[in-house]
C-alpha cells in the first residue's frame, strides 16, 4: 500500500462522525469508571474490616459498639430489609395504582395538574420528609397511643412509602403510556369492558416498565438516609412496629462523624472501615436485586409471552368475559381502589405541604414555641453568627446545582446517546453498562457522601468545599440523567432516524437535529429530576460541603451548607428558635420546588407549542 493511501485512511478515521462516536464512548465509559472506582474503593476499604473480624462474623454479629470495638451488622441488615420490604409493598402498590388511575381514569382536565402534583411530591427534599415525620407524624402517633417515642417500623414505613410513590408512579406512567393504543382497542373489540382491558391487557403489557419502576423504588428506599435516620430511632434492637431499630444507611450517617480516620494500614482497621463495609453490603444487596431483575426482564422480553397467553385465554373464554361485564368484576374493584388511592396520595401531599408551611408561619399551630422565623430578614437579611439567614445557603445550593449539572449533563446525555444510538441493541456490553448504571443509581447517597469525603475532601485535599460537594452530586445525578435521557431517546421512533438518513443526513446530524430535539422534553425532565435530587440531598453533602452556613461562599473552595443541610443543622442545634428556623427553611425549600415545577410546565408548554408551529 502506498503512503498516500495510508494517510488518506488515517485522515478518514478522524472524521467528525468518528470523533463524536469516540467522545460518546468515552462518556459512557466514564460512568462505568465511576462505578468501578466507587465499588473498588468500597471493597478496598472494607477488606481490613472483613479480615479483622471475619466476613461471616461481621455479617452475623448483632452488636455494633465502637467502644468495645465489636462491629456486626446482622440487625441492621434485618432493619434495612424489613423497612425496604414494607415501604416498597405500600409505596409500590400506591404508586402503581396512582399511575394506572392517572393514565386511564383521570379526567382529562385534571391529568396535567395531577402529574404536576406527582412531580411536586418527587421534588420534596427528604430532609423535609424527615422534619415532617419527626416533628408532626411522631407526635401524632404518640398522641394516638403509640408506645415509647413512637419511632420504629410503622412511622418509618409511612414516610418512606410516601417518598417512593412518585418514583414508581412516574416510571409506571411512562411505560403505560407507551403501550400501543391497538392493544386497548383490540381488547374492547373482543368484548372487554374498559376496566378489564386496563387491568388484564394494558397493565400486563407494561409489566417490564412497572418492574423497573419498582427497582427504582427499592433503590430509593434502600438509599434513603436522612429522613429514615430521624424516624427509625436507631435503637439497638430488631425492627418492631414501635421498636427503634437501625438500618445500614442510618448506621453510617450516625457513626461516620465519630469514626477515626483510617490511615491506610490494612492491619489496623478503624470504625471507618467497618462503615465502608456497611456501604459495601448495601451495594451487594443492590447488585443481587439488579441481577434478579435482569432475569425477570429476560423472561418478559421473550416475545411478550404472558400477554399473548392472556390474549388467547380471552378468545377461548368468551362467555366468561361476557359474564364479567354483566356482574361487575374484580377489575371494577381495582378501578374503585385506584380512585381512592389517587385521591389519598393527593391528600397526603397537601397535608405535608400545608403542615410544613403552617409550621413555618405559625409555629404554635404544630406545637412549637416561640416566634415564626418566616420573615423577610431571615430570608434575605445579612447573615452573621448572631443571626443566620438563608442567603448563604441559597447561594450555596445554586452553586451546587450549576456545578453538578455542568459535569453530569454532558456526561449523562453523551452516555445515553452512545447506549441508544451507537451500540447494538441487546449487546452484552450495553447490558453490562446498564447494570452498572442501575447499580450507581442504587448506591445510597450516604455512601456517595463518605466516598466524596475520602476521595475529594481528603485525597484531593479540597477540604469541606462546594467543589467537593458538587462533584459528589454530579456522580449521584449521573444515572438519573443517563436513564431518563436514554428512555426519551428510545421513545423517538426509528422511522424518524430512517427518514433523516434517507434525506442524506449523517449520524451525528441525525442525532443532534432530529433525535435530540424530539427527546428534549425528556432531557429537561432529567434536569428537573436532577435539580430536585440536588436540592433534596443532604446525606451526601454533610460530609463534603460541611455544615457552616453563616457567610455567603466566596468561591467553590468554601465550606457552605445547602438549604437542605441547613435544615438538618438547625434542627440538630437544639434551641427552640432553631427549630422554627428549620421549618422556615423547609418551607422555603418547598416553595422553591413548587416554583421549579411551575417553570417546568411553562417550558414544556412552550416546547409543545413551538413543535406544533
- 341 to each of 123, 151, 351, 510, 577, how far by Cα in Å? 20, 25, 15, 43, 38
Nearest to 585 by CA among 230, 128, 226: 128
Binding range to other proteins, per CB under 8 A, among 11-19, 236-244, 277-285, 487-495? 236-244
Contact pick of 101, 134, 199, 374 for other proteins (by CB under 8 A): 134
Whole-number Å distance between alpha carbons of 306 and 207: 10
Whole-number Å distance between alpha carbons of 46 and 279: 9
Nearer to other proteins, 311 or 583 (CB): 583
Contact pick of 14, 241, 258, 605 for other proteins (by CB under 8 A): 258
Instruction: Tell me how far, at minimum, the Cβ of 170 lies from other proteins, in Å.
Output: 24
Contact pick of 30, 238, 339, 501 for other proteins (by CB under 8 A): 238
Binding range to other proteins, per CB under 8 A, among 9-17, 132-140, 351-359, 479-487? 132-140
Report the b/e string of 475-505 with b at 16+ CB within 10 A.
bbbbbbbbbbbbbbbbebeeeebeebeeeeb
Q: Coil, helix or strand for 237?
A: strand
Binding range to other proteins, per CB under 8 A, among 101-109, 193-201, 347-355, 545-553? 545-553
Binding range to other proteins, per CB under 8 A, among 153-161, 279-287, 345-353, 362-370? 362-370
Angle between helix axes 16-53 and 428-442 (nearest 10 degrees) is 50
Instruction: Tell me how far, at minimum, the Cβ of 258 lies from other proteins, in Å.
Output: 2
Contact pick of 233, 279, 314, 452 for other proteins (by CB under 8 A): 233
Whole-number Å distance between alpha carbons of 464 and 59: 33
Check binding of 259 to other proteins (CB under 8 A).
yes
The C-alpha cell that represents 335 in the structure block: 378501578
Q: Coil, helix or strand for 421?
A: helix
Binding range to other proteins, per CB under 8 A, among 117-125, 131-139, 293-301, 344-352? 131-139
Whole-number Å distance between alpha carbons of 388 and 547: 12
Binding range to other proteins, per CB under 8 A, among 78-86, 147-155, 484-492, 494-502? 147-155
Instruction: Tell me how far, at minimum, the Cβ of 600 lies from other proteins, in Å.
Output: 15
The site for other proteins, by CB under 8 A, has a size of: 79
Which residues in 123-262 belong to E strands, given as ranges? Answer: 233-237, 245
Nearer to other proteins, 253 or 447 (CB): 253
Q: Using CB under 8 A as the criterion, what x/- string covers residues 15-54 for binding other proteins?
A: ----------------------------------------
Instruction: Tell me how far, at minimum, the Cβ of 49 lies from other proteins, in Å.
Output: 16
Nearer to other proteins, 398 or 598 (CB): 398
Check binding of 578 to other proteins (CB under 8 A).
yes
Which DSSP state fits 64?
Answer: E
| Parallel, antiparallel or unpaired: strands 233-237 and 245-245 | parallel
Contact pick of 548, 586, 587, 590 for other proteins (by CB under 8 A): 548
Residues 263-322 that bind other proteins (CB under 8 A): 271
Whole-number Å distance between alpha carbons of 6 and 277: 53
Instruction: Tell me how far, at minimum, the Cβ of 567 lies from other proteins, in Å.
Output: 11
Binding range to other proteins, per CB under 8 A, among 58-66, 345-353, 354-362, 426-434? 58-66
Instruction: Tell me how far, at minimum, the Cβ of 230 lies from other proteins, in Å.
Output: 7
Which residues in 405-458 belong to E strands, given as ranges? Answer: none
Q: Phi, psi (5° rounding) for residue 240?
A: -140, 170
Whole-number Å distance between alpha carbons of 569 and 574: 9
Residues 186-225 that bind other proteins (CB under 8 A): none
Instruction: Tell me how far, at minimum, the Cβ of 51 lies from other proteins, in Å.
Output: 22
Binding range to other proteins, per CB under 8 A, among 338-346, 480-488, 493-501, 552-560? 552-560
Contact pick of 214, 230, 321, 535 for other proteins (by CB under 8 A): 230
Quote the Cα angle for 65-71-72, to 5°.
115
Binding range to other proteins, per CB under 8 A, among 9-17, 112-120, 313-321, 553-561? 553-561
Residues 161-180 that bind other proteins (CB under 8 A): none
Length of the chain: 613
Chain CA centroid to CA 570, Å: 25
The answer for 107, left when phi > 0, alpha when psi is -120 to 50, beta otherwise, is: beta
Q: Phi, psi (5° rounding) for residue 245?
A: -140, 180
Nearer to other proteins, 46 or 547 (CB): 547
Residues 524-543 that bind other proteins (CB under 8 A): 542
Nearer to other proteins, 68 or 327 (CB): 68
Estimate the share of the chain in helix, then strand, then coil, as percent rounded to the nearest 5: 75, 0, 20
Cα-based torsion angle of the residue sequence 44, 45, 48, 51 in order, rounded to the nearest 10 degrees: -60
Instruction: Tell me how far, at minimum, the Cβ of 244 lies from other proteins, in Å.
Output: 5
Whole-number Å distance between alpha carbons of 171 and 174: 5
Residues 458-517 that bind other proteins (CB under 8 A): 458, 463-464, 512-513, 516-517
Whole-number Å distance between alpha carbons of 110 and 434: 35
Q: Coil, helix or strand for 478?
A: helix
CB atoms within 10 A of CB 140: 15
Residues 382-441 that bind other proteins (CB under 8 A): 384-387, 395, 398-399, 402-403, 405-406
Contact pick of 296, 423, 550, 601 for other proteins (by CB under 8 A): 550
Instruction: Tell me how far, at minimum, the Cβ of 289 lies from other proteins, in Å.
Output: 28
Instruction: Tell me how far, at minimum, the Cβ of 66 lies from other proteins, in Å.
Output: 5
Nearer to other proteins, 254 or 296 (CB): 254
Please classify residue 222 by burial: count the beta carbons closer than 10 Å to its beta carbon, then call 0-12 exposed, 13-18 middle and 19+ buried. buried
Chain CA centroid to CA 502, Å: 40
Residues 59-88 that bind other proteins (CB under 8 A): 63-68
Binding range to other proteins, per CB under 8 A, among 23-31, 95-103, 348-356, 365-373? 365-373
Nearer to other proteins, 16 or 322 (CB): 16
Spell out the SS3 assignment of 205-221. Answer: HCHHHHHHHHHHHHHHH
Check binding of 343 to other proteins (CB under 8 A).
no
Amino acid at each position: 500500500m502506498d503512503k498516500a493511501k495510508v494517510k488518506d485512511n488515517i485522515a478518514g478515521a478522524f472524521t467528525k462522525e468518528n470523533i463524536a462516536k469516540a467522545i460518546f464512548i468515552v462518556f459512557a465509559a466514564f460512568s462505568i469508571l465511576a462505578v468501578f472506582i466507587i465499588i473498588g474503593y468500597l471493597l478496598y476499604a472494607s477488606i481490613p474490616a472483613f479480615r479483622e473480624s471475619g466476613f461471616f462474623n461481621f455479617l452475623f454479629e448483632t452488636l455494633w459498639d465502637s467502644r468495645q470495638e465489636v462491629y456486626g451488622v446482622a440487625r441492621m441488615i434485618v432493619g434495612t430489609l424489613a423497612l425496604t420490604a414494607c415501604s416498597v409493598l405500600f409505596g409500590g402498590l400506591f404508586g402503581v395504582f396512582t399511575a394506572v388511575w392517572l393514565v386511564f381514569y383521570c379526567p382529562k382536565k385534571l391529568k396535567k395538574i395531577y402529574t404536576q402534583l406527582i412531580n411536586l411530591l418527587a421534588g420534596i427534599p427528604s430532609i423535609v420528609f424527615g422534619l415532617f415525620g419527626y416533628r408532626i407524624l411522631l407526635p401524632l402517633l404518640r398522641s394516638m397511643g403509640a408506645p415509647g417515642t413512637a419511632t420504629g417500623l410503622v412511622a418509618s414505613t409511612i414516610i418512606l412509602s410516601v417518598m417512593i410513590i412518585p418514583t414508581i408512579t412516574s416510571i409506571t406512567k411512562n411505560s403505560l403510556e407507551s403501550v400501543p393504543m391497538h392493544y386497548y382497542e383490540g381488547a374492547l373489540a373482543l368484548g372487554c369492558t374498559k376496566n378489564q382491558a386496563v387491568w388484564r391487557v394494558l397493565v400486563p403489557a407494561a409489566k417490564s416498565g412497572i418492574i423497573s419502576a419498582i427497582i427504582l423504588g427499592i433503590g430509593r428506599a434502600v438509599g434513603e438516609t436522612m429522613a429514615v435516620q430521624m424516624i427509625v430511632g436507631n435503637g439497638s434492637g430488631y425492627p418492631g412496629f414501635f421498636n427503634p431499630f437501625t438500618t445500614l444507611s442510618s448506621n453510617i450517617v450516625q457513626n461516620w462523624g465519630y469514626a477515626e480516620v483510617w490511615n491506610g494500614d490494612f492491619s489496623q482497621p478503624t470504625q471507618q472501615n467497618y462503615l465502608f463495609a456497611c456501604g459495601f453490603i448495601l451495594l451487594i444487596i443492590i447488585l443481587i436485586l439488579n441481577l434478579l431483575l435482569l432475569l425477570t426482564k429476560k423472561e418478559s422480553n421473550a416475545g411478550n409471552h404472558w400477554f399473548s397467553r392472556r390474549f388467547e385465554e380471552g378468545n377461548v373464554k368468551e362467555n366468561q368475559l361476557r359474564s364479567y361485564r354483566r356482574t361487575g368484576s374484580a377489575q371494577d374493584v381495582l378501578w374503585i381502589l385506584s380512585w381512592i388511592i389517587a385521591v389519598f396520595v393527593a391528600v397526603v401531599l397537601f397535608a405535608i405541604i400545608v403542615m410544613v408551611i403552617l409550621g413555618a408561619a405559625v409555629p404554635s399551630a404544630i406545637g412549637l414555641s416561640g416566634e415564626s422565623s418566616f420573615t423577610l430578614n431571615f430570608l434575605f437579611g445579612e447573615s452573621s453568627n448572631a443571626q443566620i439567614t438563608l442567603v448563604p445557603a441559597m447561594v450555596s445550593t445554586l452553586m451546587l446545582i450549576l456545578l453538578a449539572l455542568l459535569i453530569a449533563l454532558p456526561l449523562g446525555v453523551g452516555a445515553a446517546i452512545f447506549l441508544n444510538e451507537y451500540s447494538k441493541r441487546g449487546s452484552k456490553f450495553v447490558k453490562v453498562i446498564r447494570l452498572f448504571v442501575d447499580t450507581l443509581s442504587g448506591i445510597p447517597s450516604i455512601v456517595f457522601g463518605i466516598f466524596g469525603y475520602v476521595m475529594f475532601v481528603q485525597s484531593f485535599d479540597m477540604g469541606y468545599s462546594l467543589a467537593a460537594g458538587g462533584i459528589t452530586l454530579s456522580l449521584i445525578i449521573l444515572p438519573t440523567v443517563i436513564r431518563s435521557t436514554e428512555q426519551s431517546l428510545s421513545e423517538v421512533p426509528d422511522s424518524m432516524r430512517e427518514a433523516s438518513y434517507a434525506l442524506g443526513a449523517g449520524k451525528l446530524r441525525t442525532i443532534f437535529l432530529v433525535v435530540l430535539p424530539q427527546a428534549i422534553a425528556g432531557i429537561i425532565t432529567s434536569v428537573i429530576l436532577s435539580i430536585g435530587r440536588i436540592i433534596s440531598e443532604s446525606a451526601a453533602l454533610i460530609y463534603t460541603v460541611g455544615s457552616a452556613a453563616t457567610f455567603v461562599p466566596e468561591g467553590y473552595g468554601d465550606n457552605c451548607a445547602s438549604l437542605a443541610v441547613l435544615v438538618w443543622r438547625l434542627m440538630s442545634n437544639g434551641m427552640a428558635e432553631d427549630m422554627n428556623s428549620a421549618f422556615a427553611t423547609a418551607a422555603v425549600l418547598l416553595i422553591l420546588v413548587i416554583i421549579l415545577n411551575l417553570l417546568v410546565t411553562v417550558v414544556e408548554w412552550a416546547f409543545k407549542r413551538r413543535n406544533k408551529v
